[in-house]
Chains A and B, each alone.
Chain A
Amino acid sequence: MASEDIRLDHRIIYSIIGPESRVLDLGCGEGDLLYPLVRDKQVRAQGIELDDKAIQECVKKGLSVFHDDIEHSLREYPDNCFDYVILNQSMQEVKNVDFVIHEALRIGSRVIVGFPNFAFIRSRFMLFFRGKAPITKSLPYTWFDTPNVRFLSIDDFSDFCTEKNIRIIEAHYLGERRIIHFWPNLLALNAIFVLASGNAKKA
């Protein structure tokens, strides 16, 4: 697959997930991330999505989706029933982040979290020099019209993981078109973390 016009975050997540994995995508949108995984890697995928138009698009792609919000959708699943639970660009829209991450770690062996970095250099400039709420490529919304309810930096999230005894298995830092290797908290627009529960039982 991997052609140039695929979103960078999707390409990274695509490469992380192994063939025939069981995957739950929380806030799967129109299924653009899940579809190539199902088609090329025979992943057993389930999406959760609140927008009914997006669900129609998923079903057109042959994907299985539940019409639900992320927080409600997790409770019924048995422990460890997915290899990967994905929260890509949806965690920042969730109110009860702690609960969602822990539930995701309960039902999935690995949790992939992708989120926009609020400490990106341009955000800092906008806030510091112009005194305005930042608008960037990864945080493109005006303050009064944003779906986001949580604003965090990469360092914030790392601290959160340490505090909650969550293991960070991998971390990827993304610029507009390429991977960022240095000073991610300053230079990355987005981050993708692969998490596992801190308890040893989950290999």
Chain B
Amino acid sequence: MTETGNKTDKDKSIGVVETQYYTYAIPGKEHKLESGEKLGPITLAYETYGKLNKEKTNAILALHALSGDAHAAGVHSGQDNNGWWDDMIGPGKAFDTNRYFVICSNVIGGCKGSTGPSSINEATGKPYALDFPFITVADMVHAQRHLIDYLGIDRLLCVTGGSMGGMQVLQWVASYPERVRSAIPIATALKHSPQQIAFNEVVRQSIMADPAWREGNYYEYGQPEKGLALARMIGHITFMSDQSMEEKFSRRLTSGRFSFGFDADFEVEGYLHYRGANFVKRFDANSYLYITKAIDYFDLSGGRLIPGGKAIDTRFLIISFKSDWLYPSYQSQEIVRLLKRKHVDATYCELRTTYGHDAFLIEVEEQTTLIKHFLDKTFNGYLVVSDHGI
């Protein structure tokens, strides 16, 4: 394989994939959450790509961000719905499915097949809504560990993800270091800053301020569309950068002239409306509330990532993006500082893209190169790099 693969290889998708489901925490064996509450049964929606080798040493767990799902790559039968990381997972791609077995599961609290506030509460026969217990990133990871146990994988070659997915990566290392050979947290943080919490709070308030939210009991009536769309519009602003918005929209007008009204005059307004309207069709408002709260609660700063005198042999590749102002590079550098103090083998690179926080979802060539070679080294050691150097 050359560093970025040839064009045809790169464009190849994994093809048709199917979501699978795993249920655990059956009555009597409920999952005890970090909050102390119990939850069960729990279903996790997940997909897998590539083949698990006989030794079960080539498994990679990809973890999704706030609004992601288990569908990370390929398409579903008869549909045109490429997975959220289709640019990165597939034959010859950064996470090369010709070599590795990639797993992606929807987080608990989500709404894409895993148990969340829109799921039916077996005790009442109705959706949980706000009866759903608060979940944390540690709870999400705990649930994933059950899935990895079920798949018979003792040690993951790699856990990876961006944004909230990166938080889950860090949580995997904190909770189960012996089960993680390497970690690739991208555009993430050890904890949310007050600015990040503030954005999430505005997002939550915009949902809850919509009368259609009905204290969370909207399932018979339909989503609080206005509030949720507004929440997502705010989100999209933070995912882009000043420069990427300039490149994408500039001040272009939707109809060539001002309307002298409050319609979407500018393309950027139209884009936000479009993204907001699309989002309400695919994402549950209560899930958005619960998951943003889980992100705000997350904190592995101080000694919590690698406790006390514990030594870990997990290798790290940490990536941040210069134009990402939602998860600025200093937050990734805080992870690096922590790893330095603990002698952890790690690589950190800040990439110079203009895409802002969204960059991790896009096939940035440098990101692909870094990940591909980092995995290669983790999987094969130095045997495969003999064509370099001296």
Contacts and interface: CB of A to CB of B under 8 A. Distances in A.
Nearest to B370: A59
B350 A52 contact: yes
B209 interface: no
Residue among A32, A62, A63, A68 with most chain B CB within 10 A? A62
A104 interface: no
A180 B71 CA distance: 64
A38 to B, nearest CB: 7
Interface string B365-388: 010011001101100011001001
A67 interface: yes
Contacts of A55: 347, 349, 370
Size bracket of the A interface:
20 to 34
Contacts of B390: 1, 3, 6, 32, 35-36
Contact of B388 (A3, A61, A65, A68): A61
Contact of B343 (A56, A67, A81): A81
Nearest to A38: B382
Interface in A6-25: 6
B348 A66 contact: yes
B388 A35 contact: yes
Residue among A36, A52, A56, A60 with most chain B CB within 10 A? A60
Interface in A29-77: 31-32, 35-36, 38-39, 44, 46, 52, 55-56, 58-68, 76-77
Interface string A76-91: 1110010000000000
Residue among A36, A52, A77 with most chain B CB within 10 A? A52
Contacts of B341: 76-78
Contacts of A62: 373, 376-377, 381-382, 385
B130 interface: no
Contacts of B377: 62
B212 interface: no
Nearest to A44: B345
Given A6-B390, A36-B389, A39-B382, A64 B345 contact: yes
B363 to A, nearest CB: 15
B188 to A, nearest CB: 16
Interface in B315-364: 315, 317, 333, 336-337, 340-341, 343, 345-352
Contacts of A35: 388-390
Size bracket of the B interface:
20 to 34
A46 B316 CA distance: 12
B3 interface: yes
A177 B348 CA distance: 35
A64 B374 CA distance: 9
A167 B341 CA distance: 27
B371 to A, nearest CB: 9
A165 B60 CA distance: 51
Contacts of A58: 347
A6 B389 CA distance: 10
Contacts of B370: 55-56, 59
A60 B350 contact: no
Contacts of B348: 65-68
B378 to A, nearest CB: 9
A76 B344 CA distance: 13
A67 B350 contact: yes
Contacts of B315: 64
Contacts of B352: 52
Residue among A3, A36, A59 with most chain B CB within 10 A? A59
A36 B3 CA distance: 21
Nearest to B344: A64
Nearest to B380: A62
Contacts of B340: 66, 76-77
A18 to B, nearest CB: 18
Given A38-B382, A52-B352, A76-B341, A59 B389 contact: no
A59 B389 CA distance: 12
Interface in B126-148: none
Given A59-B373, A59-B374, A64-B315, 13 more contacts: A1-B390, A35-B389, A39-B389, A46-B345, A52-B349, A55-B349, A58-B347, A59-B347, A59-B370, A61-B388, A67-B350, A76-B340, A78-B341
22 contacts: A32-B389, A36-B389, A39-B389, A52-B351, A55-B347, A56-B366, A56-B370, A59-B373, A59-B374, A61-B389, A62-B373, A62-B382, A64-B347, A65-B348, A65-B349, A66-B348, A67-B348, A68-B348, A76-B337, A76-B340, A77-B341, A81-B343
Q: Which 7 A-B pairs have the closest CB atoms?
A: A62-B377, A35-B389, A76-B340, A76-B337, A67-B349, A64-B347, A66-B348
